[in-house]
Amino acid sequence: MPVRLSGQIVTIDEEEYIWSSVEDMTCIKIAELERESLIGKLEKSLQEIKTLKGLNPICSYCKVIRNEDGTWEMLES
pLDDT digits (tens, 9 = 90+) for 4-19: 999 999 999 999 999 9
The pLDDT value recorded for residue 72 is 84
- Tell me the pTM: 0.48
Contact 7, 20 (CB under 8 A): yes
Compute CA distances 71 → 47, 56, 66, whole Å. 26, 12, 5
Per-residue pLDDT band for 40 (boundaries 50, 70, 90) equals: very high
- Say how far apart CA 18 and CA 15 lie, in whole Å: 10
pLDDT digits (tens, 9 = 90+) for 50-69: 766 667 788 878 888 887 78
